[in-house]
Amino acid sequence: MSDTETSPRNRSTEEAVSTETPDERSRDGERPPGPDGLPLIGNTIGFLRGGLGFAERLQQHGDVARYTALGEEFVAVSDPQLIESVLVSRNDEFWKGRFENELGELLAPSGLVFTDGEQWRDQRSLLQPLFTPERLRSHTESIRTASATAASEWHTEDTIDLRAACSKLTLSILADTLFTIDLTTARGAIVRDAVSAIRDRTDITNITYVWPEWAPRTPTQHRFDRAMADLDGLIEELIDERRRTPTDHDDLLAALLSADDSVMDETVRDQLVTFLFAGHETTALALTYTLWLLSGHPGVSDRLETELESVESDQPDARSIPALTDRVIREALRLYPPVYLIYREPRREVNLGGYRIPRGTTLQFPAYTVHRDPRWWDDPDAFVPDRWAGTTSRPEYAYFPFGGGPRHCIGMRFAMMELKLALTTLTQRLAFERVSDALTPTPNALLDPGRVTMRVRDRSE
Ligand code: HEM
């Protein structure tokens, strides 16, 4: 099959304009189509080597496409209505699945990202109050201060590793707002080590990720075990301290410990590790991509600067920040969604888009591909923040950087507020210039931009 024949970029709009919803289609319980694979290993080589192109090529087989890799059967679903169906309307027929739970077993099986059923529901209602608009507003000062400190450090260097710098910034915000830990202390060093060990251990391009259990442990695994043991020790100390001397901290640990003794120490530990894992690298990547895109689009960044100058306060809060800031961030999350794949598994055999999906199949929702599908987006690969002004007839789930339905990102509002405040504080003080125009993101545990080097200039100099 040629690359262009049935590519989503050329496919007729017949399916898109059909009055039948994709879920109502009947195909007599056929299995979804997909690329031919090699005996035993299926499509593993294409999957490991193909990067983001693999998902795009897969869509040539349709909006529901099947392949096998790493001994698993996957079905990629690229139709927004079907994505909505699984994440929202039919969500009780699906769970996160074994594939994602393997990561959970490694990191934090009882953490909010990985639990299911009643346990998940109880955890979500316990933690939801930490993310109300009012609670989030109370973090404004902390986010602005951390971003201003970062700005004053960044411009003293000739060039910066933007991704590492953004990671340091978002980790310090998370540590201050949800953990009440100062990262410059010895305790902070334990948290920083754990974060970097988790990053290496969950790197799916590293051989360690698929290393068999019976084989001698790799240096990455040893480092991970040591760092997690140190983190566990620190968490135990923190729990002990808070139980002995209650403080007025209004953070994640306080929320967890407020639930009497019903939350076990092990669950508290898993919850802290989960938020450490889910709550800062995602935002760091979003900020990295946003700054990188802005630096390549002077028309947009000039307008953003002008709009920021017109804001009366030099310390705007999230509500007085110009609308363009929000559009720039949304557009960056469209082009480069840090969580570029969402996984689900049917609890029993289901029918999806007319196809039969047996229990045990891993479903994938490829945000990167759907966010650039020309059926829903004009000029899909271009950075056009103004596409977010006004209304649209586009299906809702043509865009899902924070997932959807009951399991959508609990930190979504936190992340958006943090990104707006950080972007504003940084661009008011600094000008960014790309050292290289190349950016080839790799599908890793998150969408990895590789090294992004930037020249930074202080605007006041
Ligand atoms: C730009 C930044 C972020 C992005 C793109 C992002 C993306 C996502 C996505 C796509 C999901 C849903 C996964 C699924 O359905 O399988 C999710 C869930 C989650 N996120 Fe985020 N996230 C971000 C920031 C944050 C922050 C700042 C926090 C915490 C402070 C956080 C904590 C979580 C947690 C705990 C879950 C699991 C929720 C549940 O299952 O109930 N995330 N995130």
The 10s digit of each residue's pLDDT in 308-336 is: 887 766 666 666 788 999 999 999 999 99
Q: Give me ligand 1 centre to Cα 258, in Å.
A: 23
- Cβ proximity of 172 and 145 under 8 Å: no
Mean pLDDT of 381-393: 94
454, 434 contact by CB (below 8 A): yes
For residue 32, report the distance from its CA to the centre of ligand 1, in Å: 29
pLDDT of residue 209: 64
Give the span between the Cα atoms of 191 and 276, in whole angstroms: 9
The reply to whether ligand 1 has any atom less than 6 angstroms from the CB of 292 is no
Q: Cβ(74) to ligand 1 under 6 A? A: no
Letter for the amino acid at 391?
A: T
What's the 115 CA to ligand 1 centre distance in angstroms? Answer: 14
Cα(28) to centroid of ligand 1, in Å? Answer: 36
Q: What is the mean pLDDT of the chain?
A: 87
The pLDDT of residue 204: 66
Backbone region of residue 156 per phi and psi (left: phi > 0; alpha: psi in -120 to 50; beta: other values): alpha
Using DSSP's 3-state secondary structure scheme, residue 225 falls into helix
pLDDT of residue 30: 87
More confident site: 8 or 461: 461
Nearest CA to ligand 1 atom 6: 402
| pLDDT band, very low/low/confident/very high, at 54 (cuts 50, 70, 90) | confident
Asked if the model's pLDDT at residue 394 lies above 90, the reply is yes
Cα 303 to averaged position of ligand 1 atoms, centre (Å)? 30
Q: What is the pLDDT of residues 106-131, one digit of tens each?
A: 889 999 999 999 999 999 999 999 99
Q: Is the pLDDT of residue 383 over 60?
A: yes
* Contact 401 CB / ligand 1 (< 6 Å): yes
CA of 314 to the centre of ligand 1 (A): 30
Neighbours of 157 (CB within 10 A): 12
Query: Rounded distance, CA 154 to CA 322, Å?
Result: 24
More confident site: 206 or 101: 101
pLDDT in tens, 57-85: 888 889 999 998 877 889 999 999 999 99
What does the alpha-carbon distance between residue 4 and residue 8 come to, in Å, rounded to a whole number? 9
Q: Is 47 in the pocket of ligand 1 (CB under 6 A)?
A: no
Q: How confident is the model at residue 263 (pLDDT cuts 50, 70, 90)?
A: low
pLDDT at 69: 81
The answer, yes or no, to whether any atom of ligand 1 lies below 6 A from the CB of 275, is yes
CA of 158 relative to ligand 1 center, distance in Å = 34
Nearest CA to ligand 1 atom 2: 283
Ligand 1 within 6 A of 124 CB? yes
Kindly state if the Cβ of 363 falls inside 6 Å of ligand 1. Answer: no
Q: Is the pTM of this model over 0.85?
A: yes
Confidence of residue 218 (pLDDT cuts 50, 70, 90): confident
310 CA from centroid of ligand 1 (Å): 33
CB neighbour class for 293 (10 Å; exposed up to 12, middle 13-18, buried from 19) = buried
> Is any ligand 1 atom within 6 A of the Cβ of residue 95?
no
For residues 364-381, give the mean pLDDT: 96
Q: How far apart are the first and last CA of the chain?
A: 57
Residue 4 or residue 65, greater confidence: 65
Q: Is the pLDDT of residue 294 over 80?
A: yes
Residue 341 scores a pLDDT above 50: yes
Q: Are 365 and 341 in contact (CB under 8 A)?
A: yes
Q: What is the pLDDT of residues 425-445, one digit of tens each?
A: 999 999 999 998 889 898 888
Q: Are 343 and 364 in contact (CB under 8 A)?
A: yes
CA–CA distance from 426 to each of 79, 159, 364, 420, 443 (Å)? 37, 15, 35, 10, 28
In this prediction, residue 40 carries a pLDDT of: 67
Residue 114, ligand 1, Cβ within 6 A? no
Average pLDDT over residues 379-403: 96
Q: Whose CA is nearest to atom 1 of ligand 1?
A: 283
The number of the ligand 1 atom at minimal distance from the alpha carbon of 408 is 12
State both tokens at 212.
């068999």
Instruction: Measure the CA–CA gap between 357 and 81, rounded to whole angstroms.
Output: 17
Return d(Cα 302, Cα 454) in angstroms, integer: 18
How far does residue 194's CA lie from ligand 1's centre (Å)?
Answer: 19
| Residue 351 in this model has a pLDDT that exceeds 70 | yes
Q: What number is the average pLDDT over the span 249-264?
A: 79
Ligand 1 pocket check for 339: Cβ under 6 Å: yes
**Cα of 51 from ligand 1 centre, angstroms:** 23
Beta bridge partners of 364: 76, 343
What pLDDT is recorded for position 11?
41
| Distance between Cα 40 and ligand 1 center (Å) | 35
- Between these two residues, 132 and 180, which has the higher pLDDT value? 132
Average pLDDT of the segment spanning 178-188: 85
pLDDT for 162: 96
Higher-confidence residue of 213 and 13: namely: 213
Task: Measure the CA–CA gap between 259 and 264, rounded to whole angstroms.
Answer: 10
pLDDT at site 15:
43
Q: Whose CA is nearest to atom 7 of ligand 1?
A: 402
Percent of the residues in the chain that have a pLDDT greater than 70, as a whole number: 87
DSSP-assigned letters across all residues of 393-438: -S-GGG--TT--GGGS-TTHHHHHHHHHHHHHHHHHHEEEEES---
- Which atom of ligand 1 is the closest one to the Cα of 286? 1
Q: Pick the residue with more confidence: 98 or 34?
A: 98
